[in-house]
Structure 1
């Protein structure tokens, strides 16, 4: 059965800003904030929207020479689970380049460095109410490295474990519903969708328009 819908030839998110008529701060936390905003639609309707501010984040799908994925187990209190994840962290250092942040997070959380970097995917994790955007990198050419000077393991990270599993096993666990972290899910599926071919990926320093648009609006 055919369906009568237009075929889109341009598949690209478009930067659009409906007018914000008012904005009220509801909460300011260490990482997150929340505002209540009145947004006017193109037809003139006023919408009340609660928006969670977030500085953005980076994540790293790191592969060793045998294409095993470097993984973490970390407790996540809001969902009441210890999740299997990939190294990741906030873009909370003022002016820090995302690629540099990804390299720093990989070293901090795993004691590893990588010589070959590409972008796997950019995602908006919950665009209906949260400004968080995440860039997921592919990192290869792994080697042991010192953790950055001054880095202190604390909080949930003090109870985190590090290991590895084959890329196929990670993919299969995601498809089976056994792993729910969005960065590892999108990252591993993007890697297989690219045919595990880095020539189909973007350079590590590629523009990130959604992040650049949100800088200063955390």
Structure 2
């Protein structure tokens, strides 16, 4: 869990750079509130469009502090979750929910102040037939996610860190963050250094 705590302090942009931009979820998957962030291990669920019964199974089986990642195939006509189901995830200790699809009861979800990332909102509920799979490999936002991968989300979007590479990616992410902070401190607010930086970039 210690490595997950460290990822909580790293912006998705630095993680994305460490991953060479290869593990970003589709940019239409955004937080319902921009000031909320999430980092945790993935519990995955794959759904058929307009069928969300297995979301409940995944919430029940997830470990506390996991992030529920829902592969709803980008379907936007019916919601994968509403505020009550999101409330169940929060009650059982999950750290957040990421959905390749839609939610409903959006204002209720925002009022919860709980990290939810999705493609948008709709009015229609889903049926409960139970088609799909819990904790298998999924594609969410056109990105492969395995159970146990680390999910990092903030206002810029969501990135997945493969479990087998997490130590290396954390190290590279922290290095990138440190370099960015040093560059900003040296250049921003200093017209001479800003102009020099621009000219150096244009000469490459």
Superposition TM-score, scaled by structure 1 size:
0.23
User: In proportion to residue count, which structure has more strand?
Assistant: 1
User: In proportion to residue count, which structure has more helix?
Assistant: 2
Q: Relative CO higher for 1 or 2, CA cutoff 8 Å, sep ≥ 6?
A: 2
Superposition TM-score, scaled by structure 2 size:
0.24
